[in-house]
Amino acid sequence: MADHLEQLENLSVHILREAYANFKSMCMLWSIGKDSTVLLWLARKAFLGHVPFPLVHIDTRYKIPEMIEYRDRLTRQWQLDMIYGMNTEALQRKETFPDGNTDRLRCCKLLKTEALKHTLSGQWTRYRFNHTTDCYEADSNREPFTGVIVGLRADEEGSRSKERYFSRRDRASEWDIADQPPEFWNQYKTDFAPGTHVRIHPLLDWTELNVWEYIEREKIPTVSLYYDQGEGKRYRSLGCWPCTFPIHSTAKNPQEIIEELQSGQLKNIAERSGRAQDAEDGGGLETLRREGYM
Neighbours of 145 (CB within 10 A): 23
Contacts of 231 (CB under 8 A, 6+ apart): none
Give dist(CA 143, CA 48) in Å, integer. 26
Instruction: Report CA 3 to chain centroid distance, whole Å.
Output: 26
d(CA 100, CA 267): 35
CATH of domain 4-206: 3.40.50.620
Is 38 in contact with 16 (CB distance < 8 Å)? Answer: no
Residue 262: partners with Cβ closer than 8 Å, 6 or more residues away? 209
User: How do 247-248 and 233-234 pair as beta strands?
Assistant: antiparallel
140 Cβ partners below 8 Å, 6+ apart? none
DSSP string, 149-203: E----TTSSGGGGG--SEEEE-TT----TTS----BTTB------TT-EEEE-TT
- CA–CA dist 215, 222 (Å, integer): 8
What does the pLDDT read at residue 45? 97
d(CA 226, CA 223): 7
* Inter-residue contact 178 to 127 (CB < 8 Å): no
- pLDDT at position 240 is 92
- Encode the chain (294 residues) as per-residue pLDDT tens digits: 569 999 999 999 999 999 999 988 999 999 999 999 999 999 999 999 999 999 999 999 999 999 999 999 999 999 999 999 999 999 999 988 878 766 888 898 999 999 999 999 999 999 999 999 999 999 998 899 989 999 999 888 655 566 788 887 765 556 666 666 666 666 677 777 777 788 999 999 999 999 999 999 999 999 999 999 999 999 999 999 998 999 999 999 999 999 999 998 888 777 877 676 665 555 455 555 555 555
User: 3-class SS at 280?
Assistant: helix
238-276 as b/e, with b when 16 or more CB fall inside 10 Å? bbbeebbebbebebeebebbbebbeeeebeeebbbbbbb
Give me the pLDDT at residue 272, please. 75
Nearest CA among 49, 56, 50 for reference residue 27: 56
Which pLDDT value is given to residue 281? Answer: 56
Three-state SS at 99:
helix
**Closest-CA residue to 163 (of 145, 174, 177):** 177
Tell me what pLDDT residue 21 has.
93
How long is the chain? 294
CA distances from 16 to 36, 43, 149, 208 (A): 13, 7, 8, 20
The predicted structure's pLDDT at residue 27: 96
pLDDT at 81 (0 to 100)? 98
